[in-house]
Amino acid sequence: MLGQLRKMIVDLGETVGYQLPLTDERVNLNALIGRSIVLRHTGKIFCVHCGRQTKKSFSQGHCYPCFISLARCDMCIMKPEQCHFDQGTCREPEWGEAFCMQSHFVYLAKTSGVKVGITRGSQIPTRWIDQGAVQALPIFKVKSRHLSGLIEVILAKHVKDRTNWQRMLKNQVGDEDLRVVRDQLVLDCQEELAALVASYDQEAIEYLETEAVVDIHFPVAVYPEKVKSFNLDKQAEVSGKLEGIKGQYLILDTGVINIRKFSGYEVEWEA
């Protein structure tokens, strides 16, 4: 089967369901756990936005012209507290209006220990699954991406906002109670949060005190003891027995590969 890679499509059930998009085809990955698979890069890369062929991929699948012109490739996507739309300098104001000026959630998740993060409401629980979180707990609902970033900066002084992907893939997540962590975090940040709330209208920030913890179970038969990562730019063919899927990673008995990182890469797929 020949096609261009895209981020895996996920579905939260008793166990996360995964499908691998290959242009117009979708591969049911859960059914392949325990079987040998082969990914063979043809050498071609196509921009996930405009579709043109490119020699190098930027920002998870974009050609260079799209990378330097699209607001979705700006640094403020990673650091929303620096939101260009809020500053009036967004490269695509209409896109910024639709993407950033909507409800966002600030959450805690267990990925490689407890971390704080943000996501659009429409991306729950997809965002948590993509990060490899085994548990997640929404703690604030806010009216914009910029505001969620400001809260994340406050909370990140006390809890990490990054995932150690190697520990995540080894399933080294800790046994903390997210509700206990949330309560202590809100207490520790009480003054800074109150000051932020005071500068916005009352409906801009909602504290989600009664939300339940969401448990996420990934289809993994064997977690790796050591993590070796494949890179299609350096090694065109990746093969091995599929032992599990977590986050956007395929876990093989020979190593792991981050599918999202290689969005737009044309591959031949065998199972």
Structure tokens at 270: 């065998």
In this predicted structure, the answer to whether residue 239 has a pLDDT above a threshold of 90 is: yes
Say if pTM beats, i.e. exceeds, 0.75.
yes
- Check whether the bond before 224 is cis (ω within 30° of 0): no
Where exactly are the structural domains of the chain?
Answer: 2-44+219-270, 103-215
pLDDT in tens, 19-61: 999 998 999 999 999 999 999 999 999 999 999 999 999 999 9
Q: Within 13 Å and on the Cβ side, how many CA atoms surround 201?
A: 4
Q: What is the mean pLDDT of residues 73-80?
A: 85
The radius of gyration of the chain from alpha carbons, rounded to an integer in Å, stands at 20
In this predicted structure, the answer to whether residue 146 has a pLDDT above a threshold of 90 is: yes
pLDDT of residue 75: 84
Amino acid at 210: T
Q: Residue 85 belongs to what H/E stretch?
A: helix 84-87
Following DSSP, what letter does each residue of 128-151 receive, concatenated?
A: HHHTT-SEEEEEEEES-HHHHHHH
In this predicted structure, the answer to whether residue 96 has a pLDDT above a threshold of 90 is: no
Cβ-Cβ contacts under 8 Å for 157 (sequence gap 6 or more) = 189
pLDDT of residue 259: 97
pLDDT of residue 6: 96
In this predicted structure, the answer to whether residue 8 has a pLDDT above a threshold of 80 is: yes
Separation between Cα atoms, residue 219 and residue 197, nearest integer Å: 41
Alpha helices in 164-235 (DSSP H): 165-169, 178-188, 190-198
Average pLDDT over all residues of the chain: 95
Q: What is the mean pLDDT of residues 85-89?
A: 80
The SS3 of residue 240 is: strand
Q: Phi then psi for 71, rounded to 5 degrees?
A: -65, -30
pLDDT in tens, 196-233: 999 988 789 999 999 999 999 999 999 999 999 999 99
Amino acid at 83: C
The SS3 of residue 116 is: strand
Separation between Cα atoms, residue 219 and residue 239, nearest integer Å: 19
Least confident of 48-52, 100-104, 169-173: 100-104
Q: What is the mean pLDDT of residues 75-101?
A: 84
**Which whole-number Å values give the CA distances from 251 to 11, 67, 121, 124, 226, in the listed order?**
18, 29, 29, 24, 11
Structure tokens at 197: 């709330």
Q: Residue 130 belongs to what H/E stretch?
A: helix 126-130
pLDDT of residue 101: 86
Q: Kindly state the percentage of the chain with pLDDT values over 90.
A: 86
pLDDT of residue 168: 97
Q: What is the mean pLDDT of residues 122-139?
A: 97
In this predicted structure, the answer to whether residue 195 has a pLDDT above a threshold of 80 is: yes
In this predicted structure, the answer to whether residue 245 has a pLDDT above a threshold of 90 is: yes
> Which of residues 47 and 91 earns the better pLDDT score?
47
pLDDT of residue 258: 98
